[in-house]
Structure 1
Amino acid sequence: MDEQMLERLKAESNTLPLSPGVYIMKNKSGNIIYIGKAKALKNRVSQYFWRFASHEGKVRKMVENVDHFDYILTDSEFEALVLECSLIKQHKPKYNILLKDDKGYSYIRVSLQEEWPRVESAKQVADDGALYLGPYISSFAVKETVDEAVKAFRLPVCSRHFPQDIGKGRPCLNYYIRQCCAPCRGKMPNAEYRELVDNAVTFLKGGYGLILNQLQEQMTVFSDALEFEKAARIRDRIAAIQKIRERQKVVSSRVEEQDVIAMAGDGCSTAVEVFIIRGGRLCDRSSFLFEFMQDEPAARAEFLRSYYSQIKQAPPRVTLDGPTEDKELIEQYLSGLAGRKVSITVPQKGEQAALTAMVRANAQEKLNHLSQRPAHGEKVLDELGKLLGLPGRPAYIESYDISNTAGTGVVAGMVVFADGKPLKSAYKRFAIKTVEGQDDYACMREVLSRRLARLKEAKEKGQEAGEGFGRVPDLILLDGGRGHVAAVRPVLEASGFDIPLFGMVKDDKHRTRAIARDGGEIAINASRGVFTLVSNIQEEVHRYAIAYHHKTQQKRGFSSRLTLAPGVGPARARALMKHFGTMEKLRAASEEELAAVPGMSRAVARTLKELIVQGDLI
């Protein structure tokens, strides 16, 4: 991100009030790209710009595209949440979690406004006076549920119109196979028919226990009154409902109505799975796939707001596989949508914990299935290999970037992508040792020289395997153009290793544009998969190098402050930082622990501890 732009946004964010409200991020074209809510606008918005280097995934991409922002003050954080949901639905910003709109859902329609109502599936809600149940994500589940209801209560599915067609013909086959009550015969009172429909509605809403109890009572009444034919019809209806219920997969015997939501991520993508349980059975499910989201509690909160603002209703319980931000606020918001209390729970043990584990396993399976598709794995790597003229698929890719501030605090980062995904256990960091000032080419030569020396050492010891410095990469990508490639090429050739080497070129907006080689550039925008992979690699190595640079600069600043203490010179300051690692641990150390650091004395440790306690030093 442009430094001047970042500094301007930092300054602007510092002028925001410490009040609740909604912030609206916009790009250079004035288009809204993200909408969020905050308890304190200044604190929340400034985090995006002051902590830019630590962001990952979609947050970093969003911030890189911010040109300016607006905000709307509200009286409370809850009002901000409601306004946020409304604005997101209205503007559909690119970097918010967006779900498909109501056109993708299905409904159960009960034409209660008619004298002889019908139960059927519907794609949209019409203003026709009918009762609509839903929405449901799965149209198949809706059709199956409607089919179960009409069979259990023997409701008509034919094209005849009642009461116009009553008594105008013989009943259809469904009557003779006992799947229709045949109002067309003219022998069923309307009140009895509407009672069947009412029972079906109760059944569709998941009230299995209630409807079975009602039917049992009716059957007993008819039997006691010696109306055995009516009692037999009720008995058959009870048997049909029990048969349907036995066919369903029961996943919760204690919680009758709940949505169970779980997520799984692989570093590149995040899958969210929703199991909809009504009447103690799994009646519907839905799956969503998003770009990688680092902060799971924040991701859960954003998903809940987006999902239920589309669904417009929530069950009494929403069960999650982990904590969510703004739990109380979201409960209040969902309760308002549902018109009754809605609670959010995160079970730790027992049946509910096992249920969330099952839903999470389904989310993980979604990710596994995605990673096995050629378009997301082998096919993309094959395309990259062919594009670069490699002998095979580059399954193990290393990438390098240099980071510094005006030639000071120069460091480098190495990231690894295995099978197209980040392999963070193999990441490495380098503090530049031989280069003074700002010379990216020389720094890159030093880093690759040290890396290849470690590879040669591993080879001589017979340790070539697994990951890290002991494995020969299939491809090396430098964050830089032809100059970087030309500078590093001699180092690679001198090492004796035949490893393909290329650079990653950015445009004037710091976005990946092409792959650099010794003689020119290779366009990659013709293949979306290759372009996405290379962009992700370049973004990740840049983030990793900058994060390491900021960490070293912070530690260097702490170390220089330690030298202000009497008796603490540069050598003792370095020893202290090396021993404790962080300023937090150093602050918490006792006088004895300070004195135990190599090179320290008891007197200097006592003085240092006094300054720390007084707050005069760190």
Structure 2
Amino acid sequence: MELEDKLALLPSQPGVYLMKNGAGTVLYVGKAKNLRSRVRSYFRPSGDGRYRMQFLIPNVEDIEFLVTDTEKEALILENTLIKTHKPRFNVNFRDDKSYVNLRLDPRERYPRLTVVRRPGRDGALYFGPYASSQSVRETLRTLSRIFPLRLCTDHVFNARTRPCLYYQIHRCSAPCVPGHVTDDEYRAIVEQTALFLRGRDEELLKMLYCQVHEASQALRFEEAGRVYRRIRAIERTIERQKVTSAQDRDQDVFGFFREVDKVEIQRLTIRGGKLLGGKSDLFTGQVSPDAEILESYVNQYYAEGHDIPEEVLLPFDLEGRDGLADLLSERRGKRVGVLVPERGEKRGLVAMANKNAELSFRARREREHSQQAILQQIQERLHLRHLPRRIECFDMSNIQGTNPVGSMVVFTDGEPDKARYRKFQVKTVEGPDDFASMYEVLSRRYTRALEEDDLPDLIMVDGGKGQLNIAQAVLWELGIEGPDLVSIAKSRLKSERGGGDKRRTDERFFLPGRKNPVIFPANSPALLLLQRVRDEAHRFAITYHKARRAKATVHSALDDIPGVGPKRRRALLRHFGSVKAIAEASPEAIQEAGMVSRQLAETILQAVQREQHENVQSGDL
């Protein structure tokens, strides 16, 4: 069926449409209250009227549409299709790992705060999102000084027989040991923590002042003093927070800035009338109208499970605003207002978000220009054929040949591109042979890169001429000629002539076909960037090697028992706390904790008791 015939069949109902090119690739996914009116507007003889659509429409050769009963259903379907097809011309919100949240599960007997990347729908309480792990750590440090929740993991908690150091410095109430805090007292601390994280400061302080009064009336002055110190700590913390609204509301405020096909969207998180933080996202190559981009972004953001506030403030109206409000209200379980304020305090918040979006865009562009200049310096100094916009750097790690691993880190436009990082477990090399390990890792990486047409601009290996020759041999064998190649040799201490003082040599860069290394000026921006790339590859390799080494050394009798897999092993260790505790348990207790048969429980007990006996005989325990 021709495209014109499909346009004639479009219904005047809500739904979702998919624009495709001749190869069947989805270029754009859109939502409309009236499919016929919206889609046909793109193909009128006068054109869409927006310059940016000239890049999309000439490539469209096919259109599919899906009718929905309501606009709310169309929003859900649009989000699903964008995540599935990742269209080139859509805003594709990526819930990257820069977002972090705090999790508190009040259903546990002694809940604790944990850091998670993605909120789940498991009945627990989630607070955030926070812009970075650093802001979460700062929040946790503040909370531990005010609310003494346990900090240890379940494994450590179950194994404790006496309070830890955190109890001694008043950072934990020691629920691990009976007699230090009752269940009701701990539950009260959990409730207070939740109120504080929700921004309900006035409600929390009122509750605590009542506790001080009651304790004083009952002559429990030590308890009253402890609660009063908590009040003072909360009040000091509140003083440092910026009040943005006289109303005690939870709000998310969205700002929008656009320059040609680049869009910056800013989000401000306000809880209890206080600005907790903000984050901006940049999207390039956008051809859709502003309202469609913002609606798609907001829909995808909350679909990822982020906390939905009472009000969502937008800089301009959306066609599907009512449907979006219904969808968010359904997800939250309470009414959510999606508002476009035109005056007053709320309009001021939107204006602030818009200004922050613009400032973030300008700052990002300045950084890009600065990075571009640094990359040009690297290209000129190393005589590269290409501007090194994408750099792949490799490093090896092992200890006397054991657990050899390799790492590849990627920097795009001078910044880490962590989605492209790769770890390699060396499989064919025995003993400490860095050259052979490098050969294997590079061969595996660029065999696949050749198949996927995914080559970088610059390949950098950590080492000297030897590593450079290995990399050159791999590229020659695979017939790869595109990327530039360089090796970086670390600076080292060198004695002056006559055995005098030692000095540190410069970082040296070796190039194919050149005898002498290239030396950058000390502390030049180009040198600092290349050092940063090399150090990141080293860090990534060391971290992976440590993880493999730790996995190899942590072994118990449970690993060798048929019928005891990872799930049962975790259940047993979580219940008993240690292998030693399992060895001291009865078969009935093991049977109940591990959900195993009586025969398997006896096998487990015999195996761990035998291991404990052998450890005692060898002096390991």
CA distance in 2, matches of 1:330, 1:20: 13
Alignment of 1:227-246 (within 5 A): 227-246=220-239
Alignment of 1:354-503 (within 5 A): 354-375=348-369
Aligned mate of 1:323, from 317, 321, 327: 317
Aligned mate of 1:179, from 157, 171, 175: 171
Query: What are the superposed Cα offsets for residues 523-555 of structure 1, whole Å, 9 maximum, x if unpaired?
Result: xx99xxxxxxxxxxxxxxxxxxxxxxxxxxxxx
CA distance in 2, matches of 1:212, 1:46: 58
The aligned residue for residue 50 of structure 1 is: 44
The aligned residue for residue 334 of structure 1 is: 328
Query: What are the superposed Cα offsets for residues 443-466 of structure 1, whole Å, 9 maximum, x if unpaired?
Result: xxxxxxxxxxxxxxxxxxxxxxxx
Q: Does 1:205 align with 2:187?
A: no
The aligned residue for residue 463 of structure 1 is: none
CA displacement at 1:256 relative to structure 2? 2.1
CA distance in 1, matches of 2:153, 2:335: 41
Task: Indicate if the aligned counterparts of 2:268 and 2:277 stay in contact, CA closer than 8 A.
Answer: yes
The aligned residue for residue 85 of structure 2 is: 91
Task: Indicate if the aligned counterparts of 1:141 and 1:284 stay in contact, CA closer than 8 A.
Answer: no
The aligned residue for residue 549 of structure 2 is: none
CA distance in 1, matches of 2:305, 2:8: 37
- What secondary structure is seen at the aligned counterpart in 1 of 2:238? helix
TM-aligned CA distance change 1:129 to 1:48, over 3 Å? closer
- What secondary structure is seen at the aligned counterpart in 1 of 2:275? strand
TM-aligned CA distance change 1:252 to 1:112, over 3 Å? same
CA displacement at 1:315 relative to structure 2? 0.7
CA displacement at 1:63 relative to structure 2? 2.0
The aligned residue for residue 280 of structure 1 is: 273
TM-aligned CA distance change 1:319 to 1:131, over 3 Å? closer
CA distance in 1, matches of 2:374, 2:20: 32
Give 2:237's aligned amino acid.
I
Task: Indicate if the aligned counterparts of 2:41 and 2:48 stay in contact, CA closer than 8 A.
Answer: no
The aligned residue for residue 15 of structure 1 is: 9
Task: Indicate if the aligned counterparts of 2:56 and 2:287 stay in contact, CA closer than 8 A.
Answer: no
Aligned mate of 1:300, from 289, 294, 303: 294
Query: What's the TM-score once normalised by structure 1's chain length?
Result: 0.55
Give 1:122's aligned amino acid.
V
Task: Indicate if the aligned counterparts of 1:97 and 1:306 stay in contact, CA closer than 8 A.
Answer: no
CA distance in 1, matches of 2:344, 2:121: 44
Alignment of 1:110-149 (within 5 A): 110-124=104-118, 131-149=125-143
- What secondary structure is seen at the aligned counterpart in 1 of 2:278? strand
Give 1:191's aligned amino acid.
D
TM-aligned CA distance change 1:175 to 1:313, over 3 Å? closer
Query: What are the superposed Cα offsets for residues 234-279 of structure 1, whole Å, 9 maximum, x if unpaired?
Result: 1111111111111222222314200011111233422110001112
Query: What's the TM-score once normalised by structure 2's chain length?
Result: 0.55
Aligned mate of 1:344, from 338, 342, 345: 338
Alignment of 1:206-221 (within 5 A): 206-221=199-214
The aligned residue for residue 466 of structure 1 is: none
CA displacement at 1:9 relative to structure 2? 3.0
CA distance in 2, matches of 1:64, 1:83: 26
TM-aligned CA distance change 1:100 to 1:42, over 3 Å? same
Aligned mate of 1:71, from 38, 55, 65: 65
Give 1:244's aligned amino acid.
T
Alignment of 1:523-542 (within 5 A): none
Query: What are the superposed Cα offsets for residues 20-49 of structure 1, whole Å, 9 maximum, x if unpaired?
Result: 222111222212222222222222111112
CA distance in 2, matches of 1:19, 1:80: 10
CA RMSD, 1 decimal = 3.4
CA displacement at 1:68 relative to structure 2? 0.5
The aligned residue for residue 251 of structure 1 is: 244
CA displacement at 1:59 relative to structure 2? 3.4
Query: What are the superposed Cα offsets for residues 418-463 of structure 1, whole Å, 9 maximum, x if unpaired?
Result: xxxxxxxxxxxxxxxxxxxxxxxxxxxxxxxxxxxxxxxxxxxxxx
CA distance in 2, matches of 1:115, 1:30: 54
Task: Indicate if the aligned counterparts of 1:312 and 1:338 stay in contact, CA closer than 8 A.
Answer: no
Which shows bigger deviation, 304-313 or 270-279? 304-313
CA distance in 1, matches of 2:311, 2:16: 28
TM-aligned CA distance change 1:123 to 1:15, over 3 Å? closer
CA distance in 2, matches of 1:77, 1:159: 45
TM-aligned CA distance change 1:77 to 1:202, over 3 Å? same
- What secondary structure is seen at the aligned counterpart in 2 of 1:229? helix
CA displacement at 1:380 relative to structure 2? 12
Give 2:173's aligned amino acid.
C
Q: Does 1:270 align with 2:263?
A: yes
- What secondary structure is seen at the aligned counterpart in 1 of 2:267? strand
The aligned residue for residue 393 of structure 1 is: none
Query: What are the superposed Cα offsets for residues 540-574 of structure 1, whole Å, 9 maximum, x if unpaired?
Result: xxxxxxxxxxxxxxxxxxxxxxxxxxxxxxxxxxx
- What secondary structure is seen at the aligned counterpart in 2 of 1:373? helix
CA displacement at 1:377 relative to structure 2? 10
Task: Indicate if the aligned counterparts of 1:138 and 1:286 stay in contact, CA closer than 8 A.
Answer: no
CA distance in 1, matches of 2:84, 2:298: 17
Aligned mate of 2:21, from 27, 33, 37: 27
**For structure 1, which runs of at least 5 residues remain unmatched after alignment?**
387-524, 527-618
CA displacement at 1:131 relative to structure 2? 4.4
CA distance in 1, matches of 2:303, 2:121: 20
Query: What are the superposed Cα offsets for residues 312-371 of structure 1, whole Å, 9 maximum, x if unpaired?
Result: 542110112222222212111211221111112222333222222222111111121133
CA distance in 2, matches of 1:38, 1:227: 65
CA distance in 1, matches of 2:371, 2:109: 58
TM-aligned CA distance change 1:19 to 1:359, over 3 Å? closer
Quote the sequence identity (%).
34
CA distance in 2, matches of 1:79, 1:191: 44
Task: Indicate if the aligned counterparts of 2:267 and 2:278 stay in contact, CA closer than 8 A.
Answer: yes
Query: What are the superposed Cα offsets for residues 495-524 of structure 1, whole Å, 9 maximum, x if unpaired?
Result: xxxxxxxxxxxxxxxxxxxxxxxxxxxxxx
CA displacement at 1:54 relative to structure 2? 4.1
CA distance in 2, matches of 1:381, 1:164: 53
The aligned residue for residue 310 of structure 1 is: 304
TM-aligned CA distance change 1:274 to 1:348, over 3 Å? same
TM-aligned CA distance change 1:311 to 1:60, over 3 Å? farther
CA distance in 2, matches of 1:380, 1:207: 48
Give 1:31's aligned amino acid.
T
TM-aligned CA distance change 1:162 to 1:310, over 3 Å? closer
Task: Indicate if the aligned counterparts of 2:249 and 2:273 stay in contact, CA closer than 8 A.
Answer: yes
CA displacement at 1:62 relative to structure 2? 2.6
TM-aligned CA distance change 1:264 to 1:150, over 3 Å? same
Give 1:189's aligned amino acid.
T
CA displacement at 1:201 relative to structure 2? 1.9
CA displacement at 1:158 relative to structure 2? 4.6
CA distance in 1, matches of 2:355, 2:135: 21
Give 2:29's aligned amino acid.
I
Query: What are the superposed Cα offsets for residues 456-479 of structure 1, whole Å, 9 maximum, x if unpaired?
Result: xxxxxxxxxxxxxxxxxxxxxxxx
CA distance in 2, matches of 1:311, 1:164: 31
CA distance in 1, matches of 2:58, 2:370: 25
Task: Indicate if the aligned counterparts of 2:265 and 2:357 stay in contact, CA closer than 8 A.
Answer: yes
CA distance in 2, matches of 1:17, 1:126: 37
Alignment of 1:534-553 (within 5 A): none
Give 1:257's aligned amino acid.
D
CA displacement at 1:139 relative to structure 2? 3.1
TM-aligned CA distance change 1:317 to 1:127, over 3 Å? closer
CA distance in 2, matches of 1:271, 1:306: 16
Task: Indicate if the aligned counterparts of 2:120 and 2:305 stay in contact, CA closer than 8 A.
Answer: no
Give 2:171's aligned amino acid.
Q
Give 2:233's aligned amino acid.
A
